[in-house]
């Protein structure tokens, strides 16, 4: 493993990925430490939630730029009655909270301008929420 991690011909991204895949599970299994202390020692944070949100936001932007059925379904503009009980949270509501875009309409308008939308996503990822 040392030869892989110290090899300069392998990109830093690949070496880091190997470290995350092979070394971190060994460290996590063998110790009685909590996840938070392991993350502090590794000088990193939880990235899974922000990765999921980023992918949701990029997919949402892709869907909203197209005038197709997916656009109508995502925005909830379909005709008909709603089902009984508590309604599910819409994707747009969760994304506007994460992006701190204010209103849903502002987020929908921002998707039309690809550069603005990518900037909003990048800012939200940097904040780490």
Q: What is the pLDDT of residues 85-109, one digit of tens each?
A: 877 777 777 888 877 777 777 778 8
CB 120 within 8 A of CB 108: no
Cβ contacts of 129 within 8 Å, gap of 6 or more? 50, 98
Same domain for 53 and 100, yes or no, is yes
pTM over 0.75: no
Instruction: Write out the residue range of the structural domain in which residue 32 sits.
Output: 2-41
Span between the terminal Cα atoms of the chain, in Å: 34
Same domain for 115 and 54, yes or no, is yes
DSSP-derived 3-state class of residue 27: helix
DSSP-derived 3-state class of residue 88: coil
Same domain for 6 and 22, yes or no, is yes
Q: What is the pLDDT of residues 16-74, one digit of tens each?
A: 888 888 888 887 776 666 777 878 888 877 778 888 888 988 888 888 888 887 777 77
Same domain for 114 and 84, yes or no, is yes
């Amino acid at each position: 493993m040392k030869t892989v991690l110290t090899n300069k011909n392998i990109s830093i991204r690949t070496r880091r990925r190997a470290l995350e895949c092979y070394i971190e599970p060994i460290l996590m299994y063998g110790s009685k430490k909590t996840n938070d202390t392991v993350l502090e020692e590794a000088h990193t944070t939880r990235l899974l939630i922000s990765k999921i949100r980023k992918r949701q936001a990029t997919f949402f932007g892709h869907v909203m730029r197209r005038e197709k059925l997916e656009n109508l379904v995502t925005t909830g503009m379909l005709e008909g009655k709603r089902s009984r009980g508590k309604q599910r949270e819409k994707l747009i509501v969760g994304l506007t909270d994460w992006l701190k875009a204010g209103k849903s309409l502002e987020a929908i308008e921002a998707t039309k301008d690809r550069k603005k939308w990518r900037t909003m996503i990048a800012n939200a990822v940097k904040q780490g929420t």
